[in-house]
Structure 1
Amino acid sequence: RKDAVGEENYEIFKKADLGDFLGVEGEVMRTDMGELSIKATHITHLSKALRPLPEKFHGLSDVETIYRKRYLDLISNRESFDRFVTRSKIISEIRRYLDAQGFLEVETPVLHNEAGGAAAKPFITHHNAQNIDMVLRIATELHLKRLIVGGMERVYEIGRIFRNEGMDATHNPEFTSIEVYQAYADFHDIMNLTEGIIQHAAKVVKGDGPINYQGTEIKINEPFKRIHMVDAIKEITGVDFWQDMTLDEAKAIAAEKNVPVEKHYTEVGHIINAFFEEFVEETLIQPTFVYGHPVAVSPLAKKNPEDPRFTDRFELFIMTKEYGNAFTELNDPIDQLSRFEAQAAAKELGDDEATGIDYDYVEALEYGMPPTGGLGIGIDRLCMLLTDTTTIRDVLLFPTMK
């Protein structure tokens, strides 16, 4: 009221526009309608908005503006604001879950001398002082496993990963992952850990019971299905890769099923993995651990002792998308060097995602690494799942734009 604040303060109030910040002193009260308010005695103009804000009822309609000017989206769209609060809560709860189990959060370098720990193209940069090319990390794996060698038996890192690859609804060049490593654990232990992490986060943000994702009920609260990759392929296609076969025989089967064969497919394991990606991934709706990946596509995973064609590795799939990748870690330096050399050969044959040879990591293994299980989870995809979002850009505050 003008008589309560005085002429000068009232003029300040009258000149305020939508988006301005005002400081108001007075007595907290409720209006006749019961709304919380302030009986103002003094008004200060704190900040002036020079541009009009979006209309709150409809929010921003231009998708480009939503992503480029996220601050306007947050102001005008409460649903978007709440989604990012939920994202923060998911990450906090993952930390809480791991901390309670004795894991230590650590930080490892973002700049690497050699890309490693994943099959991906890196971003390349240059360090002027040392006059050397470096890459932005494509994974945190190899540094975290060096810490296992050093005696840190339970470690994890949540951080940004950079991959110089395409963009789509589930891929952004810069994204957040968590990697977890536990000494004296195998991939069965890590399956249980993965299930626990995801179910804990889901329960906190969505409550007990299944969740709904784009109209599909996901039984995230129930034990996740577990199936060997070869069995999954056989169920869908009838092809039995348990049988011993030559590379030429595998290529012939691929030709019959119209599965493309790349130049760098030099082992039967490459064909098995291609069959899985072609026929099985699209069928995995409910949470499913697919394990037993071929050695050819798992350069850092330990071979299965009962069938050394395959590894003790798994991937978690939900709604046809991969949410986690894990394995019993390869801790034999001789075998690891051989796998790195096979990757380098694949790179020469045109596999752009094959890794180079990290001799320093091999040297670390030569000092001895205990049996270890490791895990990587894409935080952004998990946030998409738990916020019922169809594009990764909606869970990244500032997605990559042209």
Structure 2
Amino acid sequence: MEMPIGTEVGKENDESGMTLVGTLETPAPLGQTTSAMSCTVMEHSLTTEELSKINVDDEEVFLDSDESEMKVRRQRRNKKIADPLKQLIKSEFGDLLDHLEHDTPHSVHILSFIKVLLKWKEIKDLKRKGMKYKILVNREECGEEYSVVIAYYRLKGEIKGSIYASSHSGTQTFREAIQYSKYFPIEGVGCEWIIFPQHVASEFLAYWKRKYDDGSYSPKYTAYPIHLYWVPKGDVEALHFETPRDIKVYELEERHVRTVNYYWDRHYEGSEELISQIIESNITAGAFTYTGWLVGWAFQTHYGAIGLPFTLPKFRKKGIGRSVLLSLVESLVKENFDPHIFVYKDDQNMKVFLKNSGFSFVNEMHYFYVNPPQSNQIFRPAPQKLIAASSRSIKK
């Protein structure tokens, strides 16, 4: 069931690094902010106040209703006011990635997400299922180059995306975009967003409440702070770890999907399909005993971050979790990804585990989810047939 904001949702993780629980905190009060429109192709800029009151068929139009907002958008087009955002074309992807590389670690969340997105868009099975994606950036006249980047994909009505704003001008442009860009609203059956920084998250949540939380349609949503930890690619070679005796680390395979999904603390009906896609397309690591039993794992999620690190209870406190995590880190660096992971703000055990494994804190970000899937019962003992595997079938 969905957990209300501000309640305990379970037990904390152990040495394995898996976030078994967390405390969801209510975001700071949000207010609606207006600002002057800075992105126009007219000789004189129009302010938000001027835009919010324009005569259409001799009637006054205000921004307090969806209908009037659409009329204002039509007036924007008639007045030749430039959209604050533009959709990036394929030939511009390289320049964007280079720009984001120079702003790591603050841009690492969206940089890795875009890299995974560009890889997934070539998968025929996802194309067949109707996967669509967009990468949006601010126009050149709307502040600094790439001061706002919004990337997302839509699959089966659900949207997953990430938002980045590099500076004050980026926040200003984002504020204008959610009010006037033709690319908003971005909505689906379920929406999952990783957002940075806090003031951008505040603007986004205020927009969502203003548009949907009016009593007529009020979707369930979860919003809470998360902390970003990372390891610079240049520091990975200096990390030292030893894999415990009788344990080998290999990539996960399709036959491990049920086991991983079974132990995921947030699994839901249909989540096996997501786990399957991740294992098939992304970078993974699994710990196996000499008899072929899968006892721990971690992998790169659909966001490009490290996710779902887990060790079976009877195999914990043996260094297996750290071995799997750092093996995955090495593989990520070889594929030119920046290893990073999101942690619940109050999950101190996980933070200690990451610090001891060579990770360092970057900043606080925000997680936003509309209509989250219903969680099933978790951490029940898994049948042996789920976790046992023949040693002959382990990937060498």
TM-score, normalised relative to structure 1: 0.24
